Amino acid sequence: MATRVFITFPYSGAKGKVRERLTQLIEETLNPQGDLHTSNRKPVLVVNRDTIARGRYEEFEIYLDDERKKDLLDELDVIKVWAVDTCQMWLNGYGKIIDDKLNDPKDDTTSVLQIPGDLEDVPDFPSFLNSLSDLRRGIENDWDFAIGDFDVESQGSKHLIDVYGTYPLFFNWFPDIARTIRQVDRIQRPRSEFIGATIEFLSKMLLLKRKFAYEQTMVFLIHALSDRKRRWRIGRVDLGTIKDFEAGRGFRAANDQIERTERMLKLLWREMNGGDKFNIRDFERLDRRSTAIREAAIVSLENFLT
């Protein structure tokens, strides 16, 4: 059993603490005595072309050069992609790892550990790394899919989005699955970007199910927990308290995330409840409640974030 790490390079990756944490994360991933990356293939770094066009990746290269660490990038499998959002960067990363596995019989990868690179501050970084190792061990030995769960600042946008948007909408459209996730699996962040998954799970979910360029973690959870033919094993690891880079996530960005979460849930509900023959009356009833939830969330976010 072997896990291949892949990291998404954030737009904020050339700045301050985010840059420093990203460098530490890469160093730990590449550390031969470390406990994150166990595959015989290089770890993957996914970079959005938009980030490159704005000079952010070049700034990171200059920083590494100044720190005499530029050779770190040579030890990574850097892929530069066209993506509309972070989740589409995930799909590119997952797709590359799956394709590599299919095309190389010597590739020993059996699972993937996805780590977002936009960490601004982690109060206890060594414990955080230990928890990531627990996530890696879990997908190698026990689970098909696992969430790296975490606490955030109570007034931060990520927390507010989940409290006023994500979970209320989730309970509206998929109440049984939402109840399982929240009350049985005790997952606080169903939109987490810290993900562990087996190659088998990813292949089934991405090749046989509808994919989204946003909110893909929730899509994974919905598909996994609604699959009656295969009982996928879902895991959770507590990563502690994390502060991500929120400089660009004010009211507008938070509202955008809630709107696209709602759109994904509505589309997935129609598809999983009859497709072209879904019950229109049931949909209209849920849609009215969904609109009320989203409008209430907008008011709450406006009060907190403007």
Q: Tens digit of pLDDT for each residue in 102-159?
A: 999 999 999 999 999 988 778 889 999 999 999 999 999 999 999 999 987 666 777 8
CA 67 to chain CA centroid, Å, is 29
Q: What is the pLDDT of residue 251?
A: 82
Select from 279, 286, 226, 227 the least CA-distant residue to 262: 286
Determine the Cα–Cα distance for residues 254 and 144; give it in Å rounded to an integer.
30
The series of mean pLDDT values per 10 residues for the chain, 306 residues long, is: 94 80 95 93 96 93 94 96 89 96 97 92 89 97 96 75 93 97 92 96 94 91 94 95 62 88 96 94 98 94 82
Determine the Cα–Cα distance for residues 250 and 253; give it in Å rounded to an integer.
6
* Residue where the block lists tokens 């501050």: 121
Determine the Cα–Cα distance for residues 302 and 263; give it in Å rounded to an integer.
20
Q: What is the pLDDT of residue 245?
A: 47
Q: What CA dihedral angle connects 105, 106, 111 and 114, to 10 degrees?
A: -110
Q: What is the pLDDT of residue 214?
A: 85
Select from 147, 119, 162 the least CA-distant residue to 257: 162
Number of C-beta neighbours around residue 17 at 10 A: 14
Q: What CA dihedral angle connects 23, 243, 83 and 29, to 10 degrees?
A: 30
- What would the two tokens of residue 161 be? 């989005």
- pTM higher than 0.85: yes
List the domains of the chain with CATH numbers.
3-305 (3.90.550.10)
- What would the two tokens of residue 15 be? 């700045």
Determine the Cα–Cα distance for residues 13 and 253; give it in Å rounded to an integer.
19
Contacts of 102 (CB under 8 A, 6+ apart): none
Contacts of 180 (CB under 8 A, 6+ apart): 225
**Coil vs helix vs strand at 266:** helix
